[in-house]
Amino acid sequence: MSQVVSLQKALELDVARVGGKTLHLAELDAAGFQVPPAFVVTTDAFVEHFQRAGAGALLESYASPGPTQLAMLRDHQLSPELVAEIARAREALARRIGNANDADLLCAVRSSGADEDSASASFAGQHATYYYTGAQDIPQRIIDCWLSCWSSQAIAYRAANDRSAPRMAVLIQQMVLAEVSGVVFTRDPTEPVSERLVIESCWGLGAALVDGRVTPDRYRLRRIDHRLVSTKIGTKRFKVAEDLIDPEGTRLEAVPRHLQRRETLEPEMLQRVAELGAGCETHFRAPQDVEWAIAGGQLYLLQSRPITTLIAAAPQVKGRWVIFKPIIENFTEAMTPLTIDIVRRVIPRFGQFIDGRFYINFNMIKALVPLDISDAQLADLSLMRPRVDADVPRFDYRRVWLPVLLGLMGYLSWGMLLVRTRHLPSQALAGFKVRCAAVIADDRLDALTATRRLFYGASPFAPAGHLAFQVNVSSARYFILMDGLRSLLARYAPDFDPNLIGSLCAGSTDMLSTQLIEDLRTVAKLADSNTTVRRLFDEEPAETLSARLAAEPEARAFMSGLEGFLARYGHRGTREMELAAPRWQEDPTPLLGMISNMLDATQSDDDRGTKQRALAERALVEALPNQLARRIADWLIRRIRYYATLRENTRHFHVMALTTIRQKILELERELIATGALKCPDDIFFLTWDEITMLRGGQSDWRDVSILIRTRRVDHARLSERMPPSTFNIELDPREADATDLSGYCASPGTAEGIARLVLDPATDAALRPGEILVAPYTDPAWTPLFVNAAAVIVEVGSYLSHAGTIAREYGVPCVVDVEGCMQRLVNGQHLRVDASNGRIQVLSKPATEPAP
């Protein structure tokens, strides 16, 4: 019986002989899909080979062969008869595709396990695949594929899914020289009940996407009509190298800068990919995970397997935990392992990281807050959600002793700093920039030592401006003063709208986040005042704009202004609390998109914030006639404004510290890549500090960490696509549900109507048109310029004190935060009414093809 058959003949065999991947492709090829021609080496050859090598026991075992046996098996050659049969099949493959020179035919050698791509277990990424394989290398690559059955990750996966002993066929397929490739999930795997499909794409082969080494473009479309719901353009810094002669090489090569942020799929091709996925789902009658590639304008189907789980199960966690809102409201993605490890070493031990997000010990909060309230109410308080009832919670005097004792201890430790920061000059924190520069210049300091130096400070008696993290903690008085103002107005001005309190306390001219906007506006005016520069902004793609501006003599004044801006704000960027995230000073392309957006902005509503504050002040005068209460209220407003500004400004310097640490890490990464200890940029962020230390010291090498890095990259990408739960093991009060409208919490009052614009990344979605309603998963300072044009802001994760709320109040923009599910339930183009004062979002009309609910 032949051990090598064509893809068409494989359809006549069962899955035990040709494997799940091959059988699925054979079915799809027969159904008319564009599948690259292939042949398969069956599992009969697999069994015979290992029996002939004296390793038959492995065929019935989960155990991995030891190093000596593994080396012997890798050197044990295929039988001459099998080699001859493979050669004949390859020649037939060359004739079928019309390749006149058989020697030029390159193939992909792909695993096809007997239990691979099944409905219960996909084995995605667990077995080996080899690209650009010539005739002379195919036999060895088949052996390598077979041996991947006993890799540590495949053994662990097989044991966890209770699979039988391994059997593997190998698919040898025409190599598609992909210009673009990716995957389509016919149901969004991050949603429990999904009416959307997801397409991810990157330049070159999709292996870099599957390995988690590339941030792909991500498109979400409605299943019913393939209407585009949202687009997130990834920064595709790498692609799989087109010449993989050296299997131990980096495997990746840099993508030209002008292509890194360019969209990989045109609308027509996007629809074709969506239709391909839908066709596979219709054929198999189940949601599919489909791999595809584009070469020469032709769309190829590379693989289709069932989505084994539409949503990952929540982790089983002991104890009670509530998410730490000040971090999650700045970015919702999971932190990388190195960021987690470094942060964990310097912060107090009042919480833990779960799935890449930081959670606080709820039992500790309960012990420290002596209020007679339910667990659900305390959890809402911890999540910075406003009270929905007017009742002031009562103190439980039996539990006051612990917070009082800790408060006294804290005052003894922090009292001097509390006094020193009561009237800190606005420029005092600039001293922290000097400390960061000194740390960067000191080659003796590694990243971990630099973190401790910047986080803790040289001494408690150092200038307050050098202690940015401690100053941030001291500004927490903001919370107490705000609660005092609310209580005062509730008692002496019961008719005053409490939603206006935020407008009363806004208006600081010293806030760096608003200065960032004004300084960027100044740069935008330089662009608008020069005809040549303005033309480049209007005509040049964002990814090549920077290079064109740098080469244009007429743009010197503009480039000088941009360099001045970067000197002050270049350490900032999207996801800036994450050490792996690039900064504006490394790549100013996102800034140019923001400037382009400002060039098209209207200036008529620049004074919205001023008008809102004036209205709030008049309302306060009318509602609070008591002069003593008014003087107290005015003092509280001034103090709240001061501490709110101080709190927001310290974030600017926190990020400066993180950028300093990132620079130290990148220096170390370059050293490790130069010595061959690491292969790919950014891999260092998927190791812990101890693992990096061992790598640098020679106690481990690339082979020891490569699989670990790959696994962590894939896990990180998976976790980052899922919104984390707010709590673990705490039963929250149910939120009011509505079939069409949404609700959240007021962060900045007011009402507005407009068209919904979903923005996933301000670096690539900067063109928010005036009057549109910004809908975002979260915001950080990189999003700030979008507030200029926004009629209103809707944020999925946030609080009154979040960046979104703070900036919205400064600009008088209505803002609703903590709107659960808004990124899934809202669609670009919907007409919305935002009643921010009451935390309500009403869908007034749907896009033309929106189905009825």
Question: What was the pLDDT predicted at 850?
Answer: 45
Neighbours of 509 (CB within 10 A): 9
- Say which amino acid occupies 202: C
Residue 753 sits at φ, ψ, to 5 deg, of: -125, 150
pTM of the full predicted structure? 0.81
Q: How confident is the model at residue 602 (pLDDT cuts 50, 70, 90)?
A: low
- The partner residues of 199 in beta bridges, in order of sequence, read 184, 219
Question: What was the pLDDT predicted at 382?
Answer: 86
Question: What was the pLDDT predicted at 141?
Answer: 93
Question: What was the pLDDT predicted at 852?
Answer: 37
Question: What was the pLDDT predicted at 555?
Answer: 94
Q: How confident is the model at residue 178 (pLDDT cuts 50, 70, 90)?
A: very high
Report the distance separating Cα 824 and Cα 220, nearest Å: 10
Q: 481: Cβ–Cβ under 8 A, 6 or more apart, which residues?
A: 636, 639, 640, 643
Question: What was the pLDDT predicted at 258?
Answer: 78
pLDDT of 156 strictly over 80: no
Question: What was the pLDDT predicted at 115?
Answer: 67
Neighbours of 422 (CB within 10 A): 11
Report the distance separating Cα 617 and Cα 726, nearest Å: 36
Nearest alpha-carbon partner for 273 in 346, 348, 358, 201:
201
- The partner residues of 289 in beta bridges, in order of sequence, read 185, 305
Q: How confident is the model at residue 412 (pLDDT cuts 50, 70, 90)?
A: low
Map residue 695 onto helix, strand or coil: helix
pLDDT of 308 strictly over 80: no
Dihedral sign for Cα 841, 842, 845, 851, please: positive
Evaluate whether 772 touches 781 at the Cβ level (below 8 Å): no
Nearest alpha-carbon partner for 108 in 192, 206, 34:
206
Position with higher pLDDT, 834 vs 418 = 834
The continuous run of DSSP H or E covering 602 comes out as: none
Map residue 583 onto helix, strand or coil: coil
Question: What are the chain's domains?
Answer: 4-174 (3.30.1490.20), 180-306 (3.30.470.20), 512-625 (no CATH), 677-721 (no CATH), 742-845 (3.50.30.10)
Q: What is the pLDDT of residues 5-40, one digit of tens each?
A: 999 999 999 899 999 899 999 999 999 999 999 999
Q: What is the pLDDT of residues 78-133, one digit of tens each?
A: 999 999 999 999 999 998 887 656 667 899 999 998 766 554 444 444 678 888 89
Question: What was the pLDDT predicted at 549?
Answer: 93
Q: Give the percent of the chain with pLDDT over 70.
A: 88
Q: How confident is the model at residue 233 (pLDDT cuts 50, 70, 90)?
A: confident
Residue 245 sits at φ, ψ, to 5 deg, of: -60, -40
Q: If you average pLDDT over each of 59-68, 316-325, 666-675, 782-791, which comes out highest?
A: 666-675
Report the distance separating Cα 546 and Cα 260, nearest Å: 13
pLDDT of 314 strictly over 80: no
pLDDT of 650 strictly over 80: yes
Map residue 407 onto helix, strand or coil: helix
Count helices and strands (H / E) in the chain. Answer: 31, 25
The continuous run of DSSP H or E covering 835 comes out as: strand 831-835
Q: What is the pLDDT of residues 475-523, one digit of tens each?
A: 888 888 988 998 899 999 999 988 888 888 887 788 888 899 889 989 9
Question: What was the pLDDT predicted at 61?
Answer: 66
Evaluate whether 768 touches 774 at the Cβ level (below 8 Å): yes
- The partner residues of 109 in beta bridges, in order of sequence, read 130, 172
Placement of tokens 């079915």 in the chain: 27
